[in-house]
A and B are shown apart, each in its own frame.
Chain A
Amino acid sequence: MDMKRSYYEDIRLFPSCVTVFWAVVLLAFLLAYPFLFKNYYVYMANYIAINIIVVVGLNLLVGYTGQISLGHAGFYAIGAYATITLMSLAGFPFLAALICAGLIAAAFGFLLGLPALRLEGPYLAIATLGFGVTITTIIGRIEMLGGRQGLHAPDLVIMGYPLDTDRQFYYLVMIITVLLVLFARNVTKTKVGRAFIAIRDAHIAAETMGVNLVLYKTMAFALSAFYAGVAGGLYAFVLRFIEPGLFSLFLSVFFLTMAVAGGLGSVMGPIAGAIVLSFLDLQLRNILSIPYVGDWLRHLSASYFSLTGVSNIQFIVFGAILIAIMLFEPLGLYGLWIRTKKYWKTWPF
């Protein structure tokens, strides 16, 4: 029989010394990272961390609550535009603007959650898709937000320290990412997270146990939108220039892809998905300049396809990798991780 000494064991952040060890290793690595790698890789780390924020938030909605969203680029855009606008027009300091932008996105998330109460599956997918596309279209027409021309981010100063390089911005991004990931993790382990999963698995049973569907579904939308909003605000300062074209339907699909490929319904899965797919996304853009592989692809394209098609080769390779992941492990990268973990058990102790 399973003797239980402390019921906290099931939900504690560090269930064993092994996890503490790995958490310390990870933290040390994150701290040292900007000193170990070239500028480009620091930029890449920021980009990946921001995607992690979006995907962890998206996963609370899609993976935990079972509500699809093809509109997260919309919340991302709201966050990016709101942060810049609040700073340059209302004179907000960066962090205040970022939090407000997250809350504004959350308010939109709540509003989108209301019709979602009556929609399921494909209908919800279309409704959220419509939302995402509409938001970018509207933003593109607002003169104050730069219209099609876009907006420049103002200078970034935090408590007197200017942050103008990727390296300086890095630590801020990492702190926010770690905090938001921990928050999401805790939510999934407590009452609200359980209610989310209950809605996903059997919403009628959830209701008869006292879960208020209206409250929790809209909460999931708002929370998820908050994450996307904050991430959007950070993204605006990684790029330092935003325009509506950045927040296309493709971006929404990309967010969802990262969550699914990583493994829905866990916190670690989407993080893995965001890391691997963001990395691939950036690296595959340069696939043609990789020695041998690039030449071979160019040759392949010249002999069997049109020469102009070769510029899209990154998407084809990207798609092929995705198919491979899902075929090999339907639970995504997280499933792979679980299997590896079982294999290694408590290494190195």
Chain B
Amino acid sequence: MTFFAVRHLTMAFGGLKAADAVSFEITKGEIYAIIGPNGAGKTTVFNCINGIYPPTEGSIIFKDRNIRGLSPDRVAKAGIARTFQNIELFSNMNTMENIMLGRHLFMKTGLFRGGLMWGKKSFAGKEEIENRRRVEEIIDLLELQTYRNKFVGALPYGIQKKIELGRALAAEPELLLLDEPCAGMNAEEKQDVVFWIKDIQDMLGITILLIEHDMHMVMDISDRILALNFGRPIAEGSPAEVSAHPEVLAAYLGTEEAGDAPASAGAGRRPA
């Protein structure tokens, strides 16, 4: 069985091929990372998987089924959740309600049962309580208790990223897409995220597809890595293989982000 595979995925915006014949396959239970300089097409690949962009060519296989062309809500229903590079939270809801949105697909309360909710014994009342309890577990896991009833719009960036992670987890996905989960975080927060990602993989058994800029982190937690440049895959394999690949080195040294250069990853400090 193919758990997840992208085959010859191409996404063209006018003349620009943001993703150009990208192919990779993920086995169930692993952490797979996509790296590459800014503008390499990483987020574009995610957007195609989610059904936000219609791919120009190629197929996206999830559990032996081609999900290319499904609308984003159908992709979610199939079992794929995600977080965004530029936070996409519901800024006028509090933390609890934001994560409750992750429970959307599990809830059956419609307009009538919701509108006629009468007390905690009603169908809608019971369902709310049950799902809020589930969300509370996620709040505990991510240590978000302090922010539970706060509107998310005004919360610190790192906290917002965590809430987004919580919302995606609430959907109990089989495949979780994380678009730069550590971007804009300080060292301590990054460390926390690394732990959680490992926990999510170990304890919840969720397969993770990750985009990350911080090379130390990517090298540390990923089982396999795909490197993109100008929309094209330039290397694929284990962290050691990819970080030693000449084209990857060139692509990274070619950008200003010398600090992120994979060459330093092997020798550099690693999060636990």
- A2 to B145, alpha carbons, bound, how many Å? 7
What residue in chain B is nearest A223 (Cβ atoms)? B111
* A163 at interface, CB cutoff 8 A: no
Residue of A4, A12, A183, A194 touching B100 (CB-CB under 8 A): A194
> Cβ of B97: which chain A residues have Cβ within 8 Å of it?
194, 197
Question: Known: A2-B148, A184-B115, A194-B93. Contact between A210 and B125, CB under 8 A?
Answer: no
- A27 to B113, alpha carbons, bound, how many Å? 25
Q: Interface code B208-238, partner A: CB below 8 Å = 1, 0 otherwise?
A: 0000000000000000000000000000000
Q: Is there contact, CB below 8 Å, between A186 and B115? A: yes
> Cβ of A10: which chain B residues have Cβ within 8 Å of it?
96, 132
- A186 to B115, alpha carbons, bound, how many Å? 5
**CB proximity to B under 8 Å, residues A1-45:** 1-2, 4, 6-8, 10-12
**CB proximity to B under 8 Å, residues A224-273:** 265
- A231 to B108, alpha carbons, bound, how many Å? 29
* A204 at interface, CB cutoff 8 A: yes
**CB proximity to A under 8 Å, residues B111-133:** 111, 113-117, 120, 124-125, 127-129, 132-133
* B75 at interface, CB cutoff 8 A: yes
Residue of B73, B107, B171 touching A191 (CB-CB under 8 A): B107
What residue in chain A is nearest B107 (Cβ atoms)? A191
Q: Is there contact, CB below 8 Å, between B81 and A209? A: yes
- With contacts defined as CB atoms under 8 Å apart, how many contacts are there between chain A and chain B in the complex? 129
Question: Known: A183-B116, A194-B93, A197-B93. Contact between A209 and B145, CB under 8 A?
Answer: no
**CB proximity to A under 8 Å, residues B93-110:** 93, 96-97, 100-102, 104-105, 107, 109-110
Q: Is there contact, CB below 8 Å, between B145 and A1? A: yes
* B162 at interface, CB cutoff 8 A: no
> Cβ of B52: which chain A residues have Cβ within 8 Å of it?
204, 207-208
Q: Interface code B23-56, partner A: CB below 8 Å = 1, 0 otherwise?
A: 0000000000000000000000000001010000
> Cβ of B81: which chain A residues have Cβ within 8 Å of it?
208-209
Q: Interface code A176-210, partner B: CB below 8 Å = 1, 0 otherwise?
A: 00000001101101111111011011101111111
- A10 to B179, alpha carbons, bound, how many Å? 32
Stretch at the interface among B57-65, B83-91, B182-190, B191-199: B83-91
Max chain B C-beta neighbours (<10 A), residue from A1, A12, A183, A191: A191
What residue in chain A is nearest B92 (Cβ atoms)? A201
- A191 to B101, alpha carbons, bound, how many Å? 8
Q: Is there contact, CB below 8 Å, between B149 and A192? A: no
Q: Is there contact, CB below 8 Å, between B129 and A8? A: yes
- A202 to B97, alpha carbons, bound, how many Å? 14
A4 to chain B, nearest CB (A): 6
Q: Is there contact, CB below 8 Å, between B92 and A197? A: yes
Stretch at the interface among A211-219, A281-289, A335-343: A211-219
Residue of A1, A8, A187, A198 touching B115 (CB-CB under 8 A): A187
Q: Is there contact, CB below 8 Å, between B89 and A205? A: yes
B219 to chain A, nearest CB (A): 28
> Cβ of B90: which chain A residues have Cβ within 8 Å of it?
197-198, 201-202, 205-206
Q: Is there contact, CB below 8 Å, between B84 and A205? A: yes
> Cβ of B71: which chain A residues have Cβ within 8 Å of it?
207, 212-213
> Cβ of B82: which chain A residues have Cβ within 8 Å of it?
208
Q: What 3 A-B pairs come out closest when comparing CB atoms? A: A190-B114, A7-B132, A205-B88
Q: Which residues of B contact A (CB under 8 A)?
A: 50, 52, 71-73, 75-77, 81-82, 84, 88-93, 96-97, 100-102, 104-105, 107, 109-111, 113-117, 120, 124-125, 127-129, 132-133, 136, 145-146, 148-149, 167, 171
Add 12 more A-B contacts to A183-B116, A191-B109 (CB < 8 A): A1-B146, A2-B148, A6-B129, A7-B128, A8-B129, A12-B120, A186-B116, A187-B114, A191-B104, A191-B127, A193-B114, A210-B171
Q: List 26 A-B contacts (CB under 8 A).
A: A1-B145, A2-B145, A2-B146, A7-B129, A8-B125, A8-B128, A189-B128, A190-B113, A190-B117, A191-B110, A192-B109, A194-B104, A195-B101, A197-B97, A205-B89, A206-B101, A207-B73, A208-B76, A209-B81, A209-B104, A209-B105, A209-B167, A209-B171, A210-B104, A211-B73, A265-B92
